[in-house]
Amino acid sequence: MVAFGKMLAFLAVGSASQSAGDASNDSCASPQDETSHLQVHSAGQHDAEEYGSKWCLLKSCKVAKKLCLFRGKCCDYAKVCKGNPCAGSKPTDNPYFDNVNCIEDGVKNVLEQSGINVTKGYVGGFNTSGREPILVPYAEEGLCPVNVHWHWGTEHYSEGEYDVELLAAPMSKAPDQPTSDADFSLLQGPVRQGFQCRSYNSTDPTFTTEYAWKYCKDTYVGETYEVHWPHSAAGACDTKWQYQSPFYDGVFCRDGIIFLDPLNTYEKIGVQAQVFTIVNDEDYYVPDLFKGMIVNGNYGSDIAYYTGSTTGTSRSNTICSRYTPITWQVDRKCHLISASSFDKMCKDMKAQADDMTDDLHPHGSRELVDFAFAADNLQLLQAQSHRA
């Protein structure tokens, strides 16, 4: 079996490190690497015991003091086996996950993509070979939320709900271009705006009276945003490190759970998506937008389920994501929500152990995925409780 993340690199150095690690700590991480990802392996090839963080594996390395296995070497626990255990977990060392041409030499070069048309009755043109999305609340399958972020406009399309192109409220402006996250930026160009809800009313002050934001950045009353809650079975669930920015660090925090062979990504990784137009009206206040999709009354009552990919404006209908397939659960309706609800969510984000600053502003929206790369397994079901 081939696991995601740095498992491949670990397997390559594991046997060599057995003797090299016994010698000294000189080759261990430098101070700036102290919060880098700590490998977790349960295959039994190492004599290890848990100590402190449950993500750390210790081994004696024939030295009479506590050491931890870090990047295939035996290192001083006090120096490296602490801090954020998920930092650096995004599998950047595996070129498999780099963006690629969607079509190469006239042949489809990737699996199904996101976001797609989630209108009732829509069936995409990509043969998913019988793959089924997760059709129950993610928590029932052992997934937990590992991040929350939102996009300017929507990346999905729902006819009659969020289907208007480039309808911007008078006070809106493009969010500041994020330069540190290539997955959400398109070179140095403007952030792309997605589809808009039909809710905006220029004569109603609830859509035009700006809110005094304290925590969210570049977010405006009257605008439409698609909120995403990535979930993973490999997250640091039920620890202070559960929520991560970038979200990939949370998705791939623990090794030995997500595999390419046999492929189980769509069973272990999922995203909730819900679309809102922000209003300056406390009647639409929701106290906890941080932990997952709102399921209450009309909110979260009409869900589209399908398999797709990660999104963001580094992807298009020419350049595609290799982080696929994963499950998507998308609310097909557009909802009103108070600006204070969003600001409370940002306050909660700032309170996390990991620094979520890069997700305190809206990200650009990927263009709608063409029919050819939209999954043929879209299903519409009445929602159960889809919180976490």
pLDDT of residue 77: 52
Q: What is the mean pLDDT of residues 346-368?
A: 96
346/374 Cα distance (integer angstroms): 32
Query: Is the pLDDT confidence value at 220 over 90?
Result: yes
Query: What is the pLDDT, as a whole number, of residue 161?
Result: 97
Least confident residue range of 24-28, 30-34, 250-254, 362-366? 30-34
Percent of the chain clearing pLDDT 70 (strictly above): 70
Least confident window among 41-55, 87-101, 188-202, 364-378: 41-55
Domain residue ranges in the chain: 2-80, 95-382
pLDDT, position 95: 84
pLDDT at 82 over 50: yes
Question: How is the chain split among helix, strand and coil, in percent rounded to 5?
Answer: 20, 25, 60
**Mean pLDDT, rounded, for 111-126:** 97
Q: Positive or negative, the Cα torsion across 93, 88, 273, 176? A: negative
pLDDT at 380: 78
Query: 247 or 185: which carries more pLDDT confidence?
Result: 247
pLDDT beyond 60 at 332: yes
Residue 364 has pLDDT above 80, yes or no: yes
**Cβ atoms within 10 Å of 23's Cβ, excluding its own:** 13
- The C-alpha torsion from 148 through 335 and 378 to 183, rounded to 10°, is -30
Question: Mean pLDDT throughout 314-323?
Answer: 96
Mean pLDDT of 151-166: 94
What pLDDT is stored for residue 62 in this prediction?
Answer: 43
Higher pLDDT, 278 or 186: 278
Listed in sequence order, the residues at least 6 apart from 76 whose beta carbon sits closer than 8 Å to its beta carbon are 25, 28, 65, 67, 68
Is 12 or 298 the better-scoring residue by pLDDT? 298
Question: Which two structure tokens, joined as six digits, stand for 53?
Answer: 């963080």
User: What pLDDT, on a 0 to 100 scale, did the predictor assign at position 183?
Assistant: 40
Q: Decide if 27 contacts 57 (C-beta within 8 A).
A: no
Residue 98 banded pLDDT, cuts 50, 70, 90 = very high
Please, are residues 151 and 225 in contact by the beta-carbon 8 Å criterion? yes
* pLDDT of 128 higher than 50: yes
* Token code pair at residue 128: 């998913």
| 42 within 8 A of 49, measured Cβ to Cβ | no
Residue 48: per-residue pLDDT: 31
Question: Is pLDDT at 305 greater than 80 in this prediction?
Answer: yes
Least confident of 51-65, 105-119, 146-160: 51-65
- Identity of the residue numbered 271: V
Identity (one letter) of the amino acid at 70?
A: F
Beta-bridge mates of residue 107: 104
Average pLDDT over residues 60-88: 59
